[in-house]
Chain A
Amino acid sequence: MKILIIEDEPPIAEDIKEMTLSVLSSKVERIDIVNTLFQAEDFLRKHSIDLCLLDLNLKGKKGYEILKRSVAGSFHTIIISAYIDQAFEAFNYGVLDFVPKPVERSRLKSSFDKYLGVIEEKSRCVKYLVVRKHNSNHLILIDEIRYFEAQGYVVKIFTKDEKNELIEKSLNRLSQILPDNYIRTHRSYIVDLKEISSYKHKGGGVYELELRSGEILPLSPSVYKILQQRADKK
């Protein structure tokens, strides 16, 4: 696990680093600290990371740009901030968690657990996904998204208005922050339940999902069973 701490106060950064190491111990492959956003930009160009611990003050335009830049990355973002009134806003942008300052060890641990999938708690109120396009950040309303399809290292987002976008986050990471109505229907797909019109077993281990739009997507057998169980319950 590769972690980057973006924190302008060196003592605090050190403290977070120390706590992270003590909580995650051997899981940490690499941990770095940068003090400024310029250093962070530079670092992210050269290295790939899994998790970013970002100290953030959302006051002013710049705070939002930083937040968007961070959540648009392939990695997850956990906000560490003294501005606790901004937590709600941060969640809108799809951050994995928000940890108030001064950081408590136990609170940090539960954040990491969330990252590792030890606890399955959905992020509460993500409203937008941020995608990076031509070096700037674009917001996509979650409600506009019909399904996601993994395409190599990136994920394609299929929206209602057909303006499809690419996002760097993996399907695994997306499923950690998306609302409950988005389910992983297949190794390569996350679909909005509301968009599904039917699903069937074609025989020979082939399962299919039909969307309202008429598109046919592959369906994994295990999800097929879950969907059937749900239907029976109703």
Chain B
Amino acid sequence: MLKSIFILFISAVFSFAQKAETVCNPSTLEETHLFVWAYNKGDSTVWAVPTYNDSNWETIYKDFFYTENEGIHWLRTKVIFRNGIKGFPLILRLGRIQSAFEVYWNGVLIGSNGTVGSSKEEETPGQLFFAVSIDSVVVEGENVLSIRYSNFNQAPPGKFFYAKIDSKLNTNLFFYDLLIRLVFNSAVYIACAVFGLALYFSGNRYKNYLYYFLLSVAFLASTGFRFLMHYYNISMGMLNFFEPIFLGGYYIGEISIILFILFSFKIPHRKYHIIIVSILFLSVYVCSLWFSVALPINYEFLRIIITPYIFTLLIYSCVKKKRGSYFALAGYFVYSLPLIVFYYLGLSINLEYLHSRIVFLLTYVMVAARQVQEQQEIQKTVELRVQHLEIELLKKTIQPHFIMNTLASIKSLAKRKPEAAENLVNALATEFRLMNKISSEKEIPLTQEIELCRQHLEVMGNRWEGKYHLHVENINDSVMIPPLIFHTLIENGLTHAFNPKEDGDFWLRFEEEKDYIKFSLKNNGSLVKESQIQDTNEIEEGTGIKYVKARLEERYPGKWELKYGINNSLWEVIIKIKKIEK
């Protein structure tokens, strides 16, 4: 009962009326699959006769054909040659027709595979693949192909089969063709497998890469096995042993696809999805054993069920704008194309369909690549955020030690040199005001920065009892820079190049070249001449320079250069910034 429903379901899905005939066009012939057949159980010599009327026979489709009972059966189809048949060697290839068969072309017996018999003992099973030349029997126009077969030696007694006509003259050519496809496909599968594994081990061990690897390996295994089955042309009696192994790869492949999608696109409630899919796969597998239904049919059946499910997952991912989901949807569409369309068009699933697997795998490489890209972007954002925080931390607005030291100075000056104390307080107030105004800006006019530097030099001059001057060259209002860069450099210069009570000069020069702008800041601190600056370098690479570099990188990522050193016994810092192309 259940079994009938199962078969009914399959027939319902593919219930399309077609006449049991195929048109061959030898001028363009590569291979023509004979899809629709008339089928009848029983045995009669008349059934080989071309003119026999088989209109009351059952119409069957070779990929969904299901012979239930053991016995002798017949298949008939019309092959119509239209544009001439001369000059083309024509080979009829039949595969998987159980277990033994005889081939009649226009009523003439042209070959047999094993011995057809009416009992298991009488029957001798043939081989998996069979080929015969039809050059001598084929006629222009309508031909009738009849196959008489028996199925005692093969359980379960039901298989799809394949039947096609091609021009590959000898078997070697056929296998050569097969081999090239195998090598090509295998190369892609291996590359994809290695890629998946590499991604898994190099990154954060995201499981989806492992499933991608599994998928590639499953495809590789089933392709390899398929080739071996062809190459050794195994006996039909052994098919039941080999087929589950060969199809195992397909099953694992399908499961891997689902897992890959579930993990790649972080589908919610993954656990339930996995449970439901597992139950489905298991029940189909049990069904196969229970009803002795052929595994290939079950595989297709399974795909018919899960294809809409996977499409739903992918469309969901696209709607949620998951990275790479469009690639995944397109790739899966190509992958399902043979299933969806080719059947309806009456084309075979056999070898062409491997290409769709390759397209599928390659698009999923893109999916993985997009995801790696996303991870990198996330990482970069995090890094930028960290850098920004660092700048925030380094932000040299008002540091407590600066205030404390300055207050200590004011306290002392107020007693001894009230005028200096007043100057200091005024300059400090101006410096703070300016700093407050600019420190949160991304860019400020250089003239403003210079004003800030001068206030700072005034403050420090009072604190250190020295006179400091900032000389500027070639500066105009249009030059913009991130704030506090020169302020920081001057601060550094004072600390590391000057002794207290010593006067000093700073020179700031701006130059504009064709593709970059250049700032040069020099000072004549006495410690530079004494070359004691060398060991203060280490200190200088501390917060001050770090802050300047971070600020430059934030504003001109990868487009700046900072150098410093002694030039003509002056300490010089040079900043070059590439012009941004407009």
Binding site for B on A (CB under 8 A): 8-12, 14-15, 18, 35-36, 38, 57, 59-62, 81-83, 100-103
Number of interface residues of B (CB under 8 A): 30
Is the beta-carbon distance between B401 and A57 smaller than 8 angstroms?
yes
Q: Are B405 and A82 in contact (CB under 8 A)?
A: yes
How far, in angstroms, from A102 to B535 measured CA to CA in the complex? 29
Chain B residues with a Cβ under 8 A of chain A = 400-405, 407-409, 411-413, 415-417, 420, 462-465, 499-501, 532, 535-536, 538-539, 542-543
Known: A15-B412, A35-B501, A60-B538. A10 touches B405 (CB 8 A): no
A57 to B535, CA, bound (A): 16
CA distance A2 to B340 in the complex (A): 100
Q: Which residues of A contact B403 (CB under 8 A)?
A: 82
Residue of A nearest to B460 (CB): A9
Given contacts A11-B409, A60-B542, 17 further A-B contacts (CB under 8 A): A8-B464, A9-B405, A10-B464, A10-B500, A11-B408, A12-B412, A14-B416, A18-B415, A35-B499, A61-B538, A61-B539, A62-B539, A82-B401, A101-B407, A101-B408, A102-B411, A103-B408
| Contact in complex: A11, B465 (CB < 8 Å) | yes
Q: Which of B412, B415, B417, B420 has the most CB of A within 10 A?
A: B412
How distant is the Cα of A57 from the Cα of B415 in the complex, in angstroms?
Answer: 26
A12 and B405 form a contact (CB under 8 A): yes
List of B residues within 8 angstroms of A35 by Cβ: 499-501
Residues of A within 8 A of B401 (CB): 57, 81-83
Complex-state Cα separation, A14 to B463, whole angstroms? 12
B500 pairs with A8, CB closer than 8 A: yes
- For residue A100, which residues in chain B have a CB less than 8 angstroms away from its CB? 404
Complex Cα distance A12/B406, Å?
Answer: 9
Q: How far is the CB of B234 from chain A (nearest CB, A)?
A: 78
CA distance in complex: A57, B462 (Å): 20
Q: Is the CB of A82 within 8 A of B408?
A: yes
From B409, B416, B536, B539, A9 is in contact (CB under 8 Å) with B409
Asked if residues B539 and A60 are in contact (CB atoms below 8 Å), the reply is yes
Among candidates B413, B535, B543, residue contacting A11 with C-beta atoms closer than 8 Å: B413
| Contact A62/B405 with A8-B500, A15-B412, A36-B499 known, Cβ cut-off 8 Å | no
Q: Known interface pairs A10-B465, A101-B405. Does A15 touch B415 (Cβ–Cβ under 8 Å)? A: yes
Considering the complex, give the chain B residue whose CB is closest to the CB of A34.
Answer: B500
Complex CA distance for A121 and B523, rounded to whole angstroms: 47
Residues of B within 8 A of A12 (CB): 405, 408-409, 412, 463
Closest 3 pairs (CB-CB, A-B): A15-B412, A82-B404, A60-B539
Contacts of A11 in B (CB 8 A): 408-409, 412-413, 416-417, 420, 462-463, 465
Q: Assess whether B464 is in contact with A9, with CB atoms less than 8 Å apart.
A: yes
Contacts of B462 in A (CB 8 A): 11
A11–chain B nearest beta-carbon distance, Å: 4
> For B404, B413, B417, B535, which residue has the most chain A Cβ atoms within 10 angstroms?
B404
Q: Please report the number of residue pairs spanning A and B whose Cβ atoms sit closer than 8 angstroms.
A: 73
| Chain A residues within 8 Å of B412, by CB | 11-12, 14-15, 18
Nearest B residue to A19, CB-CB: B412
12 A-B pairs whose Cβ atoms sit less than 8 Å apart in the complex? A9-B408, A9-B464, A11-B408, A12-B408, A12-B463, A15-B412, A36-B500, A59-B543, A62-B536, A81-B401, A82-B408, A102-B408
Chain B minimum-CB-distance residue to A61? B538
Closest to A100 in B: B404
Complex: A38 Cα to B539 Cα, angstroms: 17
CA A61 to CA B411, docked complex, whole Å: 30
Q: How far is the CB of B233 from chain A (nearest CB, A)?
A: 80
Complex-state Cα separation, A8 to B538, whole angstroms:
20
A80 nearest in chain B by CB position: B408
| CB-defined contacts of B411 to chain A, threshold 8 Å | 15, 102
Which residues of B are found within 8 Å of A103, using beta-carbon distances? 408
How far, in Å, is A161 (CB) from chain B's closest CB?
32
CB nearest to B399 among chain A residues: A82
Name the CB-closest residue of A to B404: A82
Chain B residue with minimal CB distance to A102?
A: B408
Q: Which residues of B contact A8 (CB under 8 A)?
A: 464, 500
CA–CA, A195 and B404, complex, Å: 45
> Given A10-B465, A15-B415, A35-B501, is A59 in contact with B539 using a C-beta cutoff of 8 Å?
yes
Which residues on the B side are within 8 Å of A18 (C-beta)? 412, 415
Q: In angstroms, how far is the closest chain A Cβ from the Cβ of B45?
A: 106
- Cα A11 to Cα B413 with chains together (Å): 6
Query: Does B408 contact A10, Cβ atoms closer than 8 Å?
Result: no
- Minimum CB distance partner of B413 in chain A: A11
B535 touches A9 (CB 8 A): no
**Cβ A9 vs Cβ B463 within 8 A:** yes
Closest Cβ of chain B to A1, distance in Å, is 22
Enumerate chain A residues within 8 angstroms of B535, measured Cβ to Cβ. 62
Please measure, in the bound complex, the distance between the C-alpha atom of A167 and the C-alpha atom of B465, giving whole angstroms. Answer: 38
**CA A57 to CA B542, docked complex, whole Å:** 13
Chain B residues contacting A36 (CB-CB under 8 Å) are 499-500
Determine whether the beta carbon of A15 is less than 8 Å from that of B408.
yes
Tell which of A14, A59, A60, A82 touches B400, judged by Cβ atoms closer than 8 Å: A82
Determine the distance from Cα of A38 to Cα of B499 in the docked complex, in whole angstroms: 10
Chain B residue nearest to A55 (CB atoms) is: B405
* Chain B residues, Cβ within 8 Å of A38: 532
B400 neighbours in A (Cβ, 8 Å): 82
CA distance A59 to B539 in the complex (A): 8
Residues of A within 8 A of B538 (CB): 60-62
